[in-house]
Every structure is written in C-alpha cells, then in structure tokens.
Chains A and B, each alone.
Chain A
C-alpha cells in the first residue's frame, strides 16, 4: 500500500479571497480526505459594527471584500431600510442594480482570468483581464472608484447616472457581450480547457443541496436558485434575465454558468439603463433605527450573500451577521475534491471564485511517518499541475 501523505495548502493562499488552510490526505496522487481551517483573515467586522453607527458600519462593510463590496453594502442597507421602514426611490433601486451587475461582470471576468492562469492558459488570463478593464472604467465613471464604489447609503444611492454617462456605458456593453460569447465558445471547445475542466471535481445536485451550496457553484450542479429571481430585491422584479443552469456538476459547468451569466448581466444593464426612472436618489434615513430585526439576501457574483441586522433603537446596531457566499461553498468544495488529483488542487479551489491579493504561497508536503518535509510555493504547485497534465 502506498504511504499516506498530508499535504497542507495555505493558510496564505493566492486562489481565494480569504486565506484558508486545507490539509489534504493523499494516497499517491489521489486526494482521500480534506480538512479545512478558516479564520486567518477574520477581522472581527461583526463585532466592530456593534460599536459604530449605521453609516460608519456601511463603510466598514464595504471593505469586507474588495471584489463584491457593493453586494455587502446593498445587503446591509436593505436590512436597515427594512427595519426603519424606508422605501428607497425607484431610481436608486435601478442604480443599485446597474452597479451590482457591473460588479458581477468584473468579478466573472476576473475569475475567468485566474482560472485560465491556474490551468496554464495565460493568454486567456491576459485577454479576460484586458476586457475587465473596460468594466472597471465604467465603474470608475459611475462611482469614482474602481473598487469599493461606496455608491450605497442608507435610504438610496449617493451618485446619479446622467445622460452622457448612460450613453458611454451602453456603448461598451456590445463589445463586452461579444467578448463573453467568444470566451463561452472558447472554454467549451479549446482542448486545454476541456482537458483540465471536463469531469473534474464532480458535484451532484443532491450534494450541492445538502451542503447548502449557492450561486454559480450550485447552478453548475443543476440547482435552480437565484436570489434575484426567487426573492427579488432592488429593481430585479422588473429586469428581464434568465437564470443559467448547467447539470454538468464539474468545473466546466461552473465556467459555462459564469460566462453565460455575463450575457444575462448585459441584458439587465441595457434594460436598466434604457428604462432608468426619473426621481430622487435618496429618502431621508433616521440616525437612530427603531428596534427590530431583518434578514436580507443578495445574489453576489459568488452566490447568496445573507445579512442579519438587529437594531435596538439606538444609532448603532446590536448585532450584525454576515454570511458571505464563500462560507457556504468552501465546505462543499472540500468534499467535492475527494477522489481528485493533487494536480487539480489549484483549479478546483479556484473554481468557486478566487482573488489574487495574497502574496505568500507556501505549500508544505509532510511525509507523515518521518515528518520529513518538502516545501513548494504555489507557483511550483501550479507548474506541477500543468506538467502533470502534459505527460
């Protein structure tokens, strides 16, 4: 029998937006078990919110994630607005949708680039990140920032989209739609993509449901869930789009779902920009929020983002709870890795949607019986995966 190895990956990890630690038990090349540790990036934001007023909380919550900051602030603002009984103006709802969908475009294009990089397809990475720049320019045009847009406030949005801006955004959308179609064709026909994505880390609908998987990860396993359609918030009840489902359950399915969602996001953006209602941007929000509680759900690029806020009548919340989509997906993805190869670790972890912010990329391979250790950087592991598939 082959000796069992434990292969620690992380906690400092380039493929996820939070540092996390995976301990893989491997038999030869095959992963037989995985243990996950979180918390390396736990900043105590929920606790910190309890000592800040609602507007300060909003700016803190903007910084939970550098990629889906709008998702978090919208989910939080919706909670507070529900407790305070505020109905935000129609124009503000539309602007929240527009920024939310642009955020989804940039997040999905970012994901595609990272996925391409992990499988050794760096041309794809450079193409998709070039196109992502167009989206970031539009976000900067609307909000003044490429990331952490700060468009939301309690009771509405802080900046308007005027006529010239609207035209400028619309003029870019056709280009992006073409590019999304090009990538969708490429990923489903290119031999490199198929070799690395098809039938890897399969995850059935039953598993996805049992583990509470959300977003594109769930939809790629045939689960028909999308908060925007099932529990409409902002102006999504009026937006024309269809929920993209794939029953493949593998990495290719997750890629197809995300790439086709780009097309749907563009449909939403066009509709919202062409039908942007007139009117004010905010309603006046009270500084002190009456006692009460609310749960708010938001379809972030990675899946359902859920916030719970409990107010006690003062100007700061009594409790804020945030469950980001990665928390729902990470445990499931660990389970889906069992039976996969070591060479697939980078792309499987990347498949639930990564971030490129981490810099420390150490992988340590420890031989259990002797304690003898070998250290690989993330780059070496990535190269190892690419070489392994070239053999």
Chain B
C-alpha cells in the first residue's frame, strides 16, 4: 500500500449525516453532503441544543470550529461549524430578521463563548441562556444597535463617509 493509500484509509469518516437524520428525523431538514468531508443541515433553534449535543458526542474528536452569522436580507442565518465524525458539519439555524435570537450552546461547548459574543457584537444576534453578552470586538463606547456586518449598516451615525 502506498503512503497516499495508507493516508486515505486512515481517514475515519463516518456517515455522520445519515446518523443525524436517523436520530432527528423531524428536527433536521435540508441535509446535504456537497463533497466527501462536508455536510450541511438545517435545524430549528428549538432543536439546536439537542442536535449539538448529539454531534459533540458522536466521537471523541468532535469539536466546535466556529460560529458564522449571515445576513441573508430576508432572514438571519447562524451557522455552527463542527468537526465531527471526520466531517465538517455545518448546522444552519434560520432566524426571523426582526427578532434574531438563538439559545446558547456554551454549556455543551465552552469554546462557543467568544463566538457567541462575536456574532452578537457584529451581527446583533441575541444569545439566550448564558447571562450577559459582554462586548468582545466593538469598543465600550460603541453606540447601541450598530452591528457592522449587517447589510443595512452604513457606518456609525455622524461618522465620516468615505464615499
């Protein structure tokens, strides 16, 4: 066996997406694998906590890579990227544009702390169940209600317009 073949056979890649759909037939939708090692699925914010618990428990290497917030104009999407079962699994939670709130997953993945504070600062996503979301990125005197990564954010009120 060549080294390359050996490397490939060492990839312990479970069909994590099938496991996920079998475990949560009603909660998980839109499950798709775009290529080997990449999986995407949509979950409701109510089911998020249970699905995350399952993913982190699926093998002893599973961890939360990061959390991304996207302003999709008609809605917000929060993407939870996990390395689990030899696959980068992205859980997508769609949120009402007027009321973007997700439950915390810090009790399952303490490393989520900074990522939740980051999406709160920059995208204005509220995270419940974890106490105060202290500012992490923006300054202490940053005006309330200004979330720079939102598509409709045009700069600080009274700020310079750089054209």
Contacts and interface: CB of A to CB of B under 8 A. Distances in A.
A212 interface: yes
A82 B35 contact: yes
Interface string B23-41: 0000000000011011000
A232 B7 contact: yes
Contacts of B121: 39
B110 A211 contact: yes
Contacts of B149: 46-47
Nearest to B114: A331
B66 to A, nearest CB: 4
A212 B64 contact: yes
Interface stretch (A133-141, A171-179, A303-311): A303-311
Contacts of A330: 114
Contacts of A295: 38, 81, 88, 90
Interface stretch (B43-51, B94-102, B125-133, B134-142): B134-142
A237 B8 contact: yes
B38 A240 contact: no
Contacts, number: 95
Contact of B63 (A82, A209, A239, A318): A209
Interface in B77-128: 79, 81, 83, 86, 88, 90, 109-115, 121-122
Tell me if A's interface is mostly helix, strand, loop or mixed: mixed
B18 interface: no
Given A306-B81, A327-B66, A225 B61 contact: yes
B138 A308 contact: no
A323 interface: yes
Contacts of B146: none
A39 B136 contact: yes
Interface of A: 37-39, 42, 44, 46-47, 82, 209-213, 223-225, 229-232, 237-240, 294-295, 297, 304, 306, 308, 310, 318-319, 321, 323, 327-328, 330-332
Interface of B: 3-4, 7-8, 10-11, 34-35, 37-38, 60-61, 63-66, 68, 70-71, 79, 81, 83, 86, 88, 90, 109-115, 121-122, 135-139, 148-149
Top 10 A-B pairs, shortest CB-CB distance: A212-B111, A39-B137, A323-B66, A321-B68, A211-B111, A238-B4, A212-B63, A240-B3, A308-B68, A210-B110
